[in-house]
Structure 1
Amino acid sequence: MKLPIIRQFYQNQTPENLETALEVLESFSEFRGTTEEDLNVVGEMITDICGALEVHQNVKNGMSERDALNGFAQKVIGSIDKS
């Protein structure tokens, strides 16, 4: 997860574009010939896109961009700490 990338996706892409990209990456990750390295990169991109989608939703619901970005980061960090 990289907040600058999530911010970039949020600021420059519509939720519809992000959903389309997410579908493509998920399909790619299911390809049998995908390497472990590919999966790591795709997984990181999927996390960043999901973050941007969540930021879009939270901003739509009245949260500031900064708070939405920080909230997503805390959620991810919190899930890592529980592992």
Structure 2
Amino acid sequence: MKLPIIRQFYQNQTPENLEATLEVLESFSEFRNISEEELNVAGELITNICGALEVHANVRNGMSEKDALNSFAQKVMGSIDK
């Protein structure tokens, strides 16, 4: 998870574009002949796209961009600590 990438995805892409890209990456990651490195890259992109989608949703619900980004980061860090 990289907040600068999530911020850029949020600022430059619509939720619809992000959803379409997410579907492609999820499909790609299910292909059995991809390498571990390719799977790690796809996983990192999926995490960043999901973060941007969550930021879009939180901003739409009245949260500031900064708070929405920080909220997603805290959520991810909280799940890692468990």
> CA separation in 1, counterparts of 2:26 and 2:34?
12
Which runs of no fewer than 5 residues in structure 2 stay unpaired?
none
**1:33: Cα distance to partner?**
0.7
3-state SS of paired residue (1:62): coil
For 1:9, the aligned partner's letter is F
Q: How many residues align?
A: 82
Name the stretch that deviates more: 32-41 or 66-75.
32-41
Which of structure 1's runs of 4+ aligned residues deviate more than 4 A?
A: none
3-state SS of paired residue (1:38): helix
> CA separation in 2, counterparts of 1:46 and 1:63?
23
- 2:65 counterpart residue number: 65
TM (normalized to structure 2)? 0.99
- 1:28 counterpart residue number: 28
TM (normalized to structure 1)? 0.98
**1:32: Cα distance to partner?**
1.1
Identity of aligned residues (%): 83
3-state SS of paired residue (2:62): coil
3-state SS of paired residue (2:41): helix
The answer on 1:79 being equivalent to 2:67 is no
Which runs of no fewer than 5 residues in structure 1 stay unpaired?
none
- 1:4 counterpart residue number: 4
